[in-house]
Copies of this chain bind each other. A is one copy, B any other.
Amino acid sequence: MAKTGDSSRAVTAPALSSLDFALDRASPVPLYYQLAQQLEAAIEHGVLAPGNLLGNEIDLSVRLGLSRPTVRQAIQSLVDKGLLVRRRGVGTQVVHSQVKRPLELSSLYDDLEEAGQGPATRVVRNEGVAASADVAAALGVAEGSEVTRLERLRSTHGQPVAFLCNYLPSGLLDLGTNRLESTGLYRMMRSAGITLHSARQTIGARSATAEEARLLDERAGSALLTMQRTAYDDTGRPVEYGTHIYRASRYAFDFQLLVRP
């Protein structure tokens, strides 16, 4: 049955009172997080439909046997994710969303997480080099000091898609070529205890040079997507600088932006 037909005034009260949330106080998982996950699941599965009101926080906290701040913390995390909207004097309701699925970032994941997953990646170069001026500036090291250069060619379905050139601080990671081809840079960093936190990206386009065209099996002069990125860990230290080129005919960046002013 489905639906609140009127998109304007969907002030519907949910069947939330009948929803049973299973909170385990013995679990090491924080209560607010358990609640947030179960709320998110309810939204995901349509138990809470777009526009549904959540019911006030006081009642909710009483019903769940939690304090109001704890309930608020759970709700706030979903508001931050863009799944819920709060309005003073009105209530908290599920967002009117077409796109609740791809709420997570990002082309950072596209590239780092998927690296070596589905697509095949061939390591072309993996060596120590002296940092050039731009690399040194991006990684915050002295010009001429040693950094690791990594060049990879990524393909899907037997067709080249991108050429990735990355620079990493020397000694940051143990970059086994075999693992790189099967595991991906991102996972290797994560398992080395490096938590990625932010990245600065520039995305542009240009025509392929003859050499680039040869590498990527394109015609010279065809359009390429270019991306430069510096990635930082959770302490703000640069951990990776990369210059990537993509065949525009086979690749595009697709991501979600959250605006929080």
Give me the interface of A with B, judged by CB distance under 8 Å: 2-5, 7-8, 50, 69, 82, 85, 93, 95-100, 102, 105-108, 140, 171-174, 192-194, 196-207, 221-225, 230, 232, 234-238, 248-249, 251-259
Nearest chain B CB to A50 CB, angstrom units: 7
Contacts of A107 in B (CB 8 A): 257
13 further interface pairs, Cβ-Cβ under 8 Å (given A2-B194, A96-B237, A205-B225): A2-B173, A2-B192, A4-B192, A4-B194, A85-B235, A93-B235, A99-B232, A100-B236, A105-B258, A105-B259, A197-B259, A200-B256, A204-B253
Report how far A108 CA is from B256 CA in the complex, Å: 10
Q: Is A99 touching B253 in the complex (CB atoms < 8 A)?
A: no
6 smallest CB-CB distances across A and B, nearest first, come from A95-B236, A97-B236, A204-B252, A205-B205, A205-B248, A96-B236
Q: Is B236 touching A82 in the complex (CB atoms < 8 A)?
A: yes
Nearest chain B CB to A162 CB, angstrom units: 13
Contacts of A255 in B (CB 8 A): 200-201
Nearest chain B CB to A10 CB, angstrom units: 10
Contacts of A203 in B (CB 8 A): 203, 225, 252-254
Nearest residue in B to A69 (C-beta to C-beta)?
Answer: B69
Contacts of A198 in B (CB 8 A): 82, 256-259
Contacts of A234 in B (CB 8 A): 85, 95
Nearest residue in B to A246 (C-beta to C-beta)?
Answer: B205
Report how far A248 CA is from B5 CA in the complex, Å: 38
Nearest residue in B to A99 (C-beta to C-beta)?
Answer: B200
Q: Is B8 touching A235 in the complex (CB atoms < 8 A)?
A: yes
Report how far A256 CA is from B255 CA in the complex, Å: 13
Q: Is B85 touching A236 in the complex (CB atoms < 8 A)?
A: yes
Nearest residue in B to A204 (C-beta to C-beta)?
Answer: B252
Contacts of A205 in B (CB 8 A): 205, 223-225, 248
Nearest chain B CB to A179 CB, angstrom units: 14
Report how far A237 CA is from B9 CA in the complex, Å: 13
Q: Is A257 touching B102 in the complex (CB atoms < 8 A)?
A: no
